[in-house]
Amino acid sequence: MSLTLVKANSIIDGALARANELDIQISCAVVDAGGRLLAFQRMDKATWASAYGSQGKAVASAGFGQPSGETQARA
């Protein structure tokens, strides 16, 4: 299954909606299975460093084939 831009943007929309619920500002990156960036957004007032962190987490998730929240056990 290949990830489309429409689906990647839908993932970002969900992440930004959740961030708004939590009253936090984030950056969100979505990559394909090879770790190549498909979509990215940084919320207003999100720290500049979150742009790099979100992309790194997305690439790590693609590399390990699991959500970034589950990769900590492997560290």
Question: What is the 3 state secondary structure string of the chain?
Answer: CCCCHHHHHHHHHHHHHHHHHHCCCCEEEEECCCCCEEEEEECCCCCCHHHHHHHHHHHHHHHHCCCHHHCHHHC
What is the pLDDT at residue 1?
Answer: 64
Quote the pTM value: 0.88
What's the pLDDT tens digit per position in 23-69? 999 999 999 999 999 999 999 999 999 999 999 999 999 999 888 87
